[in-house]
Amino acid sequence: MLYLLKLVLIADILSHVYGEQITNESETCEELLDEELKEEIASYGPTRDKILKYVLEGEFKGRTFKELTKFINKFGGRLTGTENLENSIDYMINLTIKEDIHNITAETLKVPQWTRGKEEITMLKPRVKNMALIGLGNSVATPKDGITAEVVVVDSFEELEKVDAKGKIVVFNVHFTTYSETVKYRFEAATRAAGKGALASLVRSVTMFSIYSPHAGMQKYGNETKIPTAAITLEDANLLKRLYTAGEKIVINLKMLSKLDYNTSRNTLVDIIGRENPEKIVIVSGHIDSWDNGEGAMDDGGGLMISWAVPVILKKMNLEPRRTIRTIFWTAEEQQYVGAEAYEKKHRHEEKNINFALESDDGTFAPRGLQMLGTQKARCIVAEVLKLFKVINASTLIDTYVSATDINVFLERGVPGAGLLNDNGKYYWYHHTAGDTMDLMDEKSLDLCTAFWAAVSYIIADLSVDIPRNDTTS
């Protein structure tokens, strides 16, 4: 087929840049996988081709981008606990029903409703300068007139221990290394600073790039006194560091009129019932909530929409997998996986039946494969499946899971799972900022992600063998 020949040529060119499958276990996989299983996996080639053609050239071409555009235009940012988020959940349920899919369950749970309120920050000394600011999730408020205090600037938690922070505002000027390494400062800054007697904490935005845009995100209070906490831009963090290093006395007024309450929200479950083993489940997921300063197109509108597309595509193509595919639109992910934890608790009785868990929450740029956590044999099986996707340069398997969010609640209990690996080198440029808009999304990349996501989900759910798991729980 002409479209496949084109994809092969493109993949051949891109493989020089991105490589193919990343694994040093090829010899072990030869021992763990018998020829019969390899032949079975290879036999899904024609099914892969049909799905790719349907999404990349056929009826579904451009559909994901079209639906995501309408969704983002209508709802924008979808902060947990808001009416806007709940309206967006209703919208996705109705959109699914219009596709003649009716195995839909909305499970209600209690979620935090944090209202940002007015936020202002002004440097008063050594000169007057208004600065950009974004409060961090669930931060307590300042007094009405704000907090006016001297500033200390530190580059690490270790440095904090060496300075006198009592009665001051602590600025954590921590440069980005990796997200997993740097984000701990956003999570822990307020608690660490409070432990030293600080009145408030400010965190350099967790990113390597900025156009004077602060990055939102969640923080977590410990047992210390709760103090206000917020993120500032890279540019202002650098300015404050330069002034502090030069010995200037820095005084800041910080105002944050936030408040915290509680509301209800819903996880949404969409099931394509398995034809032979309906009790066994492959989870395919993305989260529907977002921060309020952007539109949540990249985080996680794209992941939401390619996951929504899976049951729609399979139904339209009359593909009935052996096991049940359960698409989940997680709620309250940004509030530290509140929705996922509620689901895991409610469904723990059926956890042994989760065969595999998939989540897209790291961008939906051009797909490159999967990043996975599981047993060695599980990784070998998935690596064999990914060989089918060399044709779109999506055969890479990274066998260390680094971006799991909601499905962590299953991974830590021994369930094998994976996240979409995609060409997202600039993801953290726009993550949790006002720049997370539809302008970041690309129609062709979304089509590729959609086709890959639907095909991988179907194949894993349809294999004659279960994906082996770590039995870490009883």
Phi (first) and psi of residue 445, to 5 degrees? -65, -40
C-alpha distances out from residue 375 to 124, 333, 420, Å:
56, 26, 18
Q: Of these residues, 119, 188, 295, 333, which one is catalytic?
A: 333
120 catalytic? Reply is no
SS3 content of the chain, % helix, strand, coil (to 5): 40, 25, 40
- 53 by Cβ neighbours in 10 Å (0-12 / 13-18 / 19+) ranks as middle
**What is the b/e burial string over 79-98, where b = at least 16 CB atoms within 10 angstroms of the residue's CB?**
bbbbeebbebbeebbebbee
Q: Which amino acid is at 408?
A: N
SS3 track for 27-96:
HHHHHHCCHHHHHHHHCCHHHHHHHHHHHHCCCCCCHHHHHHHHHHHHHCCCCCCCHHHHHHHHHHHHHH
How many residues are present in the chain?
Answer: 474
Active site residues: 333
